[in-house]
Amino acid sequence: MFKFIVHSFLRPTEGELFGLKHKDIQSHSNPNYLGMNVRGSKTDQRVSVTMPLAKALYGSIKTPLEWPHVDPEEFVWMPDYPNRTTAINTARRLFKHTNSTPLA
């Protein structure tokens, strides 16, 4: 998820990253990128264009057998949390835990 944030230029907020649903994403093959309809608090509604790696990262979040059955209304990140505030807080804890691990 954190690599996707970097390569998609999305803010980790309820309106952008955590509000993103599968129906909001359009895949483009030439050049290789995703177009995402996001509703940001600072920028209102806009289309955000990703770097190519974000497309590969998005493609890897489901197995190939799951893709035909993905619900377009399902959240892309942490769909098991219907309360998006809980999803954001969980991601924040994961990020803090990852960053508190000492480097070798």
Model confidence over 48-90: pLDDT tens digits?
899 999 999 998 887 777 777 889 999 999 999 989 899 989 8
Cβ-Cβ contacts under 8 Å for 100 (sequence gap 6 or more)? none
Judged against a pLDDT cut of 70, whether residue 102 lies above it is answered with no
Q: What is the DSSP letter of 69?
A: G
Q: Taking phi first (over 0 means left), then psi (-120 to 50 degrees means alpha), and beta for anything else, what does residue 48 get?
A: beta
What is the mean pLDDT of the segment spanning 36-58?
86
pLDDT band at 7 (very low <50, low <70, confident <90, very high): very high
Judged against a pLDDT cut of 60, whether residue 101 lies above it is answered with no
